[in-house]
Amino acid sequence: MTEKISIIIPAYNASATIDRCLTSLLNQNIRETYQIIVLNDGSTDNTLTKLEKYKNDKRVTIINKLNTGASDTRNQGLKLVKSEYVTFVDADDYVETDYLESLLKQYVKNNCDLSIVGYYKEDDNKEIRFQGAGEKKNLTQEEALHDIFISTGFEGYLWNKLFKLSIIKENKISFDDKLKIAEDLLFCCKYLSHCSCISLNPEVKYHYVVNSDSQINSNKYGSDFKKESLDVLKVYSLIKFIVAPMNYSKVVSAINASILWSSTSILRNIYLAPNKKEIPKKLIDNLRSNQKKYRHDFLENDILPSRDKIIYWLNYYFPSLFAFLWRKVNLKGNGF
């Protein structure tokens, strides 16, 4: 029998969290059948040993593979999926018992092409630090492509969404394994380019646990600047190329505002980086150019909180000083 839903989980050195993740998924109250595909991505800890105890559960498929990164691992997982729907869960995270039911119910009720649920971002101690905002409604393609850039909304994550496998397969949508950051956002926007109705239910069903070893936290202020942080700008350029034929001017403006904000954040990282002197001046000039080029889109757009406009001006005119103060008072965003 073919399962209704498949859940793809890339697991790399997840021995401390994989039990919690799988337990929450195996305790789903949904009536339809579902499959959990865990791909051990070359873990060097005892993740594989932890997974062994699930090998007799027919709902769980365990794949042991060489380390190739999250994007390639998810692509390999997609090749194994034969269900009607698919979602992606991170091995560090866990879900509510009605996570799958809430995602699937939106398809049944709204005849949509994508369903989305709400989430918490929390630390290792389960302290809630942020909750995704939004209201229960159906979105058009244009609205979803615009709202995915709202930093307090449903955003471009994989784990709070349920995808139709037919849309993925028919349009040959996959993850770009050359990207280390924002590859999930690019995947979501590729998918949205083939959707007409998107259903959002912001009730919290997913718990995203932010940990110090994640890729995003490896680029925290005060650490060495890594060129991988520029991937987000590549992603925005690729999304603009996808959106261009649609003539969604508001979406393009939202992307431009995001380019400015990411350029500002990257510059702040550079000013605080121990290897600052190794950064090519041309790169800094290009990032500064983005700050000026997309200023109108940023200041006139409502996709980011009001405080960010003040932060932008301080960054623009007093970059080094503001970077120092930012680190001194330990300011944080919704990704903490």
Question: Would you please indicate which residues are annotated as catalytic (active-site) residues?
Answer: 184
SS percent in the chain: helix, strand, coil, step 5: 45, 20, 35
DSSP 59: T
Distance between CA 31 and CA 33 in Å, rounded?
7
DSSP 132: -
287: amino acid identity, one letter = L
Distance between CA 269 and CA 195 in Å, rounded?
36
Kindly give the pairing relationship between strand 34-41 and strand 5-11.
parallel
Residue 279 φ then ψ, to 5°: -80, 125
291: amino acid identity, one letter = Q
- Burial class of residue 311, CB neighbours in 10 A (0-12, 13-18, 19+): buried
Q: Helices 249-272 and 307-317 sit at what angle, rounded to 10 degrees? A: 50
Q: Helices 307-317 and 281-293 sit at what angle, rounded to 10 degrees? A: 140
Strand, helix or coil at 209? strand
Sequential DSSP letters for 96-129: -TTHHHHHHHHHHHH--SEEEEEEEEE-TT--EE
**Whose CA is closest to 274, among 233, 327, 322, 314?**
327
The answer to whether 76 touches 63, Cβ cutoff 8 Å, is: yes
